[in-house]
Amino acid sequence: MKRNSQLPNVHLRKDWKRRVRTWFDQPAKAQARRTTRARKAALIAPRPVDGPLRPAVRCPTVRYNMRLRVGRGFTHEEIKAAGLNAKYARTIGIAIDHRRTNKSEESLERNVQRLKAYLAKLIVFPLKAQKAKAAAFPAAHDAASVEEAQAVPQLQGPLFKVTSQKEATEVRAPTAEEKEFSGFRALRKARYNTLNKGTRATMAAKRAEAERN
């Protein structure tokens, strides 16, 4: 050390075990998650692994409303339009959300068609072998026993996957009238007409009164 220099103070005594986090259990955690998924799938078999059927809804706000995603549950209006009731729909793997409402005919029709496509492929099994066949939707098929239910393969992938489809835009050459049109001038003219609407009405009334006199 020379002259008026700062004394060295190197921080080499960090509590490494307390401040540093490691992920050495990552492979074991992945195996545990895989085992849990397999156990859940075996527990609900032969029902789909993805769970109950859920609706296709739009994401909130103007920024994301062009994208479709899976919602929480179908509305009572959609269930009724598909020819079902809420109590029976829950027993055949259809999720219901009593808080959600339909804001457009497009969303209502989309989810009704989704329900009908699900019912067309649905197989309803009785709870017990000695129990009578469950009264199902006409498009569904009932199995005779639990043994047949166990023989049906379980759906492992997503249940009626929701995908956003972009509509094709029609491409054409602009017309001569469209080329001459100026949006700036049109907005300026509309703004000017709106601002002077009252003044023009007053002047027209005065002219009409002067002509009568």
Residues 196 and 142 in one domain: no
- pLDDT tens digit string along 11-61? 777 777 787 788 899 999 999 999 999 999 988 888 899 999 999 999 999
Residues 45 and 138 in one domain: yes
Residue 185: pLDDT over 80 = yes
Is 197 within the bounds of a domain?
yes
Is 163 within the bounds of a domain?
no
Distances from the Cα of 182 to the Cαs of 174, 179, 187, 192, 193, in angstroms? 13, 8, 9, 15, 17
Kindly indicate the confidence band of residue 145, based on its pLDDT and cuts at 50, 70 and 90.
Answer: low
Which residues have C-beta within 8 Å of that of residue 60, sequence separation ≥ 6? none
**Residue span of the structural domain in which 185 resides:** 176-212
Is 21 within the bounds of a domain?
no
Residue 133: pLDDT over 80 = no
Instruction: Among 128-142, 170-184, 185-199, name the one with the lowest average pLDDT.
Output: 128-142
Compare 78 and 42 and report the one with higher pLDDT: 78
**At residue 141, what are phi and psi to the nearest 5 degrees?**
-120, 135
Kindly indicate the confidence band of residue 110, based on its pLDDT and cuts at 50, 70 and 90.
Answer: very high
Q: Once rounded to an integer, what is the mean pLDDT over residues 134-143? A: 41
Handedness of CA 107, 109, 115, 121 (dihedral sign): negative
Kindly indicate the confidence band of residue 211, based on its pLDDT and cuts at 50, 70 and 90.
Answer: very high
- What pLDDT is attached to residue 138? 40
Is 92 within the bounds of a domain?
yes
Is 6 within the bounds of a domain?
no
Q: Once rounded to an integer, what is the mean pLDDT over residues 186-193? A: 95
**At residue 56, what are phi and psi to the nearest 5 degrees?**
-100, 120
Residue 203: pLDDT over 90 = yes
pTM of the entire structure? 0.62
Residues 36 and 113 in one domain: yes
Report how many domains make up the chain: 2
Mean pLDDT estimate for the chain: 86
Residues 41 and 84 in one domain: yes
Q: Once rounded to an integer, what is the mean pLDDT over residues 171-176? A: 92
Kindly indicate the confidence band of residue 127, based on its pLDDT and cuts at 50, 70 and 90.
Answer: low
Among residues 50, 41, 132, 148, the alpha carbon closest in space to that of 93 is found at 50
Which DSSP string do the residues of 121-187 spell out, in sequence order?
T-EE--SSTTSPPP---TT-EE-SSHHHHHHSPPP-S-SS-----PPPPP--PPPHHHHH--HHHHH
Is 20 within the bounds of a domain?
no
Is 170 within the bounds of a domain?
no
Compare 165 and 39 and report the one with higher pLDDT: 39
